[in-house]
Amino acid sequence: MLGTTSNSLASNDRVLSLPWLRLCVGITVAVAVCSCRDSRSVAPEVPPQPLSFTLQPPRPEPPPAEPRDTTWAWIDSARCGSTAAMTILDLSPGEVSAQCTRIDGVTHLSLTLTIRSQHRADQVRRLALGFCGDVVAAEAPSAWTVSIDRRDNCCARLVDVTWARAQSPSLQNAALRIVGLKVVLKNRWRSFSYSVDVGDAGGFMSSVSVSGGPHHSCFYPDDRN
């Protein structure tokens, strides 16, 4: 019995002394050590990057419109066509053109305001047209208001239609072409006066006004026909 036990222990010693077994044990220990070291490692802290800003230079102010003489033309129910727009007021900051559609004695007058410059001194703040006739209604585009002032008397029907900016746009966003200025008139009518206020809302304002009409009167003997 004792001899058998000795032979078994000798066999175990020979097995443990094999080179490949020792190598496997060494690799297992090394992997375990590395795994423990990796689990205890901490990522290094990265310092925050400083913020950088680039200052944009201010936009140069656009140049003012070239000066020109103010010209105007009167319109009426017989001389306002629908095929081509007619310039009724031409001044340095811009011009006003008119186009009409007449159906069954009712005239739909559409005005277009064209601005020649975005300079703060050339911003049209108010546009007013005086009519001899029966003004039924008026409309204004977005960011504008419109009012109707009737000055009827026994001999004439003089009506002022005034459009004004409801807000002041920035110079970069100022529209150079404004449409949607409309007037509806009945029967015979004619323009009698034009008035424009130009300038910056918080600064100097200038006005251009012409009045009188072709006959310097607002009377039609048969204006109800």
Domain of residue 206, CATH code: 2.60.40
Beta carbons within 10 angstroms of residue 112's beta carbon: 17
**Which of 124, 104, 105, 110 has its CA nearest to residue 75?**
110
Q: Helix, strand, or coil here: 140? A: coil
**Domain hosting residue 152, numbered range:** 71-211
N residues, the chain: 225
H or E element, residue 106: strand 106-115
Question: Each residue's pLDDT tens digit in the chain (225 positions)?
Answer: 444 444 444 444 444 444 544 544 444 444 444 444 445 556 677 777 777 767 777 777 777 778 889 999 999 988 887 778 899 999 988 999 999 999 888 999 999 999 888 787 778 889 999 999 999 999 999 889 999 998 766 556 789 999 998 876 555 556 688 999 999 999 999 998 999 998 875 666 788 888 875 555 676 544 444
Q: Do 6 and 75 share a structural domain? A: no
Q: Helix, strand, or coil here: 164? A: strand
Q: Is 128 a domain residue? A: yes
Look up residue 27 and give its amino acid.
I
Tokens of 197: 């206020």
- Number of structural domains the chain divides into: 2
Separation between Cα atoms, residue 38 and residue 33, nearest integer Å: 9
Reported pTM: 0.67
